Structure 1
Amino acid sequence: MEILPVVLFVAFILFLVLSWSYRSFKNLPPGPWGLPLIGHLHLLAGKPPHRSLQSISRKYGPIVFLKMGMMPTVVISSQKIIKEVFTTHDIKFGSRPYMVLGDHFSYNYSGLGTSPYGKYWKDTRKLCSMELFTAKSIDSFAWMRKEELSHALGEILKSFSNSKPVEIRSLFSIFAFNNMSRILMSKRYFGEDEVDSDALEFKEILLSIVDLVINPSCISTLVPWYLRWLDWQIPRYKQIHAKQEKFLRKIIDEHKETTRECKDFLDIMLEFYGNNAQGETHVKANLLEMLMAGTDATATTSEWIMALVMHNPRVLIKLREELDRVVGSDQMVQESDLPKLDYLQLVLKETLRMYPPGTLLFPRMATQEATIAGYTVPKGTTLLVNVWAVHMDSAVWENPTQFYPERFLGSSIDFKGQNFELLPFGSGRRMCPGMPLGLRTVELLVANLIHCFDWSFVPGTIPSIEEVYNGSCYLKTPLQAMATPRLPMEVYGSAEIK
């Protein structure tokens, strides 16, 4: 007897039961009718999910009830409703729904980003806030950023001397990964002459995991727990996890055998969680999530800035005029210069408005029933916040599809979680804690690239600004550009630590 038809029949009956049980709630948010088993997934086909969900919200309203497969989901796309969630109801949505990332890669939800709301999450958040993301700690990493910047500039100069284009995405990704690995565990993996083969494989693993964070093809996220065995990608998850475990295990073993004068964050985590199997599991989960988030968000945001200013020469000229005025033409941009670069801050805000690192904020889950905008959101419902839809709302922003940094002139709006029309890093308890470190890194990198080089597209090409969604929102075609030094050559060596 074929088992698949039986399974599908049982799943269909369960779908009808679950649909009836949720529709028995009075006053659910509005939404379209779904299909058996797949719910509303067919409505997301053909476009990135943030754009598909925007289209649904335009038809059914700023709060919509959907079924992602068999899982109940509420999508909000309104500044007013988002504010209500992150203020009045934040604690009710402090936990995470089931995620492949947490289950298969973050060691059963042991990382800061995936762990459920509770004592463990609070302790981990406090550890990171006090030891890694304070202003003092971020300042103490400045010499690492300066060294990595010098290496990046050296690679650009090498491309110039060989008359080759700069592979922007690859350059930024290596820069970001080396920064994070040095901050977390005092080790640099990608050098000019040699590359750690294990680290190269691990970096590819991180990209695979990012792709799996929010992916409609992950059956496990679309069905109840008792049907997750149907997910045909489980062998792939296990294979990726095995490679991940090998690399992280190697990091911890090497770290224990190495003597350092100053403790790094890995040392601090090993002391905090305990030098035992459970403690090391927590350490590995947090290392994975921090390397993944710190590399992907930094590199992606930096690439978007470069692409947008190159496609908008007016903005590039204004940026350069500010850099020449504030920094001068005889030195590189120092971190002490960054607060004085007002127009750079406008460009950064506008880039994060149009292309936030997470167009959909990391999903949350209702741990108890809540009433939002007058509608009932049942316990166990997944909450998706479409911040990109708010950033593109013509009722909030004038000409939202236009890249126009001057819209922020004289405005007090920032992206620190209190202005709900601009939330690239979220808000409330689960807001991204690494935002200050990431922004400092992006600002230093982009400011120096624009100040130190003239940039042009590869001759004969005008690359598109089209996006693609793979867990995050990327340029569909990785940016390539020709760089020509614009400062005296002796300036480029000044980034080296003497």
Structure 2
Amino acid sequence: MELSTLAIALLSITLTYYFLISRRRRSGGKLPPGPRPLPVVGNIFQLGTKPHQSLAQLAKTHGPLMSLHFGSVYTVIVTSPEMAREIFVKHDQDFLNRTVVEAVHAHDHDSISMAFMDVGAEWRALRRICKEQIFSVRSLETSQVLRQEKLHQLRCYVQRCSDGGRVVDIREASFVTTLNLMSATLFSIQATEFDSTATEEFREIMEGVASIVGDPNFADYFPILKRFDPQGVKRKAELYFGKMLVLVEDLLKKRQEERRRDPAYVKKNDLLEKVVDVLNEENEYKLTTKHITHLLLDLFVGGSETTTTSVEWIMSELLINPEKLEKTKDELQRVVGEKNQVQESDIPRLPYFEAVMKEVFRLHPPGPLLLPRKAEREVQVGGYTIPKNTQILVNAWAIGRDPSIWPNPEAFEPERFLSMKMDYKGQDFELIPFGSGKRMCPGLSFANRMLPMTVATLIHNFNWKLEVEANAQDVHKGEMFGIAVRRAVPLKAYPSAIDA
């Protein structure tokens, strides 16, 4: 960027900032309280490397509805179940659309993706296809055999590691399994294998998309910088999104070609088959191939990243709390049988295992700040004025650790959920890891099958010993912020067969 251009950009940023600040002050409404912003940059430097934690700390001083300035982006942070209910229920219609980071504009993903596009006819059609075709009970039941096969491969891999005295990288094993579970359910293929170089190629693409969307980008806070892309975020996003779209488009084209070429073609029991049916002439959803490829990209990347991260957190909490692990294993052996492979139909009969899942979602929600919302008009919430175009972030991580809601909130205590009727499906605002309202995660029913089955496979037939035992509580609880919050230190452990 030339010096003169940079000077003009900085002047524009400064003028824009003061214009927006003065306009909000003249709005006449009472804005939510918050820390005093610095000139131009606002409160950016108060975010730190773990924004969910920094914002939770600030909310203790400024309250459950708190306002901050991230450059020229005015943002309100929600940090209580009561305020979350107002946003997601009472005013859901006013906060249906999203603010979208610059990276998501790559390949026009912001205007085609169900996760990011504005609510309208196209969004409703995509949501409907997810509900009626992709994530319907019938579709998921049909593809259950494919998932069982991939879980059997995970079990065999862990057994080989056990036999050879090898340590298992839980995130790596979860990543390969999740990738194969999703590719089997969506496309009837195996994406990769354990100990394969192909895994690294998939990891580069998947983590590239996930990280570039979650990385801080000055162009998001100062729109005048978007044309310059000073951090190269948009260029990287174009690369990673492009690779993923090519992969998905090739799979879709191959399936369409198979059906055209073979008059005796027998349909497969996967979700891609449903998608091809939808794309046939005169499809009632009125969706194009582009809509479908971007939808599959969202499902593949979003589902893989959040599931992989959640599996690692569940295993981490169980391994550093061995008495909870033993309770979980005892229940599995009592309900399923010591030698049998866990089935999806077994999961509803495992109340303690379900409580473990809820407790991990409370402590480690996949997306701690959820996906942002945007005020479509000026709205009154909790006695404060939310100006039009305000960005809304709901801190699900902070709500899950609020001591006024949860006794002993930092402790891993699944038992707390055995005596309370509370779920994580968007109706109980003390626990909203997947959001709530019309725009909550559409793949929740899919995750409800993949996640518990992966964990059950890992713990049902194996004992585990941490690679690093000393100071386990400290070593195994650090976090890295991103589109999903990961463990700072990869979880590694030695498996051994229960009857060994």
TM (norm. structure 1) is: 0.92
Question: d(CA) in 2 for partners of 1:362 and 1:274?
Answer: 32
- Deviations along 1:300-342, one digit per CA (max 9) or x if unpaired, are 1111111101000110111111122112223222222211111
Using the aligned pairs only, state the percent identity. 32
1:420 equivalenced with 2:429 (yes/no): yes
Indicate the residue corresponding to 1:34 in structure 2. Answer: 37
**8 Å Cα contact 1:392/1:401 also seen in 2:** yes
Indicate the residue corresponding to 2:485 in structure 1. Answer: 473
* Structure 1 unaligned spans of 5+: 489-498
Change (3 A) 1:460 1:54: closer
- Deviation of the 1:221 alpha carbon: 1.9
1:91 equivalenced with 2:93 (yes/no): yes
Indicate the residue corresponding to 1:262 in structure 2. Answer: 267
Question: d(CA) in 1 for partners of 2:52 and 2:334?
Answer: 39
Question: d(CA) in 1 for partners of 2:467 and 2:225?
Answer: 50
- Deviation of the 1:112 alpha carbon: 1.7
One-letter amino acid matched to 1:44: L
Change (3 A) 1:275 1:238: farther
Change (3 A) 1:70 1:349: same
- Deviations along 1:125-148, one digit per CA (max 9) or x if unpaired, are 011001122222222221111100
Question: d(CA) in 1 for partners of 2:255 and 2:162?
Answer: 38
| Aligned residue pair count | 483
Indicate the residue corresponding to 2:385 in structure 1. Answer: 376
- Deviations along 1:377-430, one digit per CA (max 9) or x if unpaired, are 111111100011111100111011010001112210111111110111111001
Change (3 A) 1:156 1:106: farther
* Structure 2 unaligned spans of 5+: 260-264
Question: d(CA) in 2 for partners of 1:139 and 1:465?
Answer: 36
1:76 alignment partner, one of 53, 78, 87: 78
**8 Å Cα contact 2:339/2:461 also seen in 1:** no
Change (3 A) 1:19 1:459: closer
Question: d(CA) in 2 for partners of 1:90 and 1:354?
Answer: 25
TM (norm. structure 2) is: 0.91
Question: d(CA) in 1 for partners of 2:107 and 2:315?
Answer: 32
- Deviation of the 1:240 alpha carbon: 2.4
Indicate the residue corresponding to 1:343 in structure 2. Answer: 352
- Deviation of the 1:124 alpha carbon: 0.5
CA RMSD of aligned residues (A): 2.2
Question: d(CA) in 1 for partners of 2:487 and 2:118?
Answer: 32
**8 Å Cα contact 1:105/1:285 also seen in 2:** no
1:457 alignment partner, one of 444, 460, 466: 466
**8 Å Cα contact 1:416/1:425 also seen in 2:** yes
Indicate the residue corresponding to 1:100 in structure 2. Answer: 102
Question: d(CA) in 2 for partners of 1:430 and 1:487?
Answer: 46
Question: d(CA) in 1 for partners of 2:324 and 2:4?
Answer: 63
- Deviation of the 1:275 alpha carbon: 7.9
Indicate the residue corresponding to 1:495 in structure 2. Answer: none
- Deviation of the 1:192 alpha carbon: 5.1
SS at match of 1:412: coil
SS at match of 2:388: coil
Question: d(CA) in 2 for partners of 1:268 and 1:135?
Answer: 13
One-letter amino acid matched to 2:274: I
**8 Å Cα contact 1:303/1:479 also seen in 2:** yes
Indicate the residue corresponding to 2:221 in structure 1. Answer: 222
One-letter amino acid matched to 2:113: G
**8 Å Cα contact 1:106/1:114 also seen in 2:** no
- Deviation of the 1:101 alpha carbon: 4.7
Change (3 A) 1:168 1:374: same
One-letter amino acid matched to 2:205: I
Q: How does 1:341-420 map to 2 (within 5 A)?
A: 341-420=350-429
Change (3 A) 1:10 1:100: closer
Question: d(CA) in 1 for partners of 2:235 and 2:202?
Answer: 18
**8 Å Cα contact 2:176/2:193 also seen in 1:** no
Indicate the residue corresponding to 2:262 in structure 1. Answer: none
Q: How does 1:247-326 map to 2 (within 5 A)?
A: 247-259=247-259, 261-262=266-267, 264-272=270-278, 279-326=288-335
Question: d(CA) in 1 for partners of 2:196 and 2:491?
Answer: 24
- The worse-fitting range, judged by mean Cα deviation, of 54-63 and 226-235 is 226-235
- The worse-fitting range, judged by mean Cα deviation, of 405-414 and 95-104 is 95-104
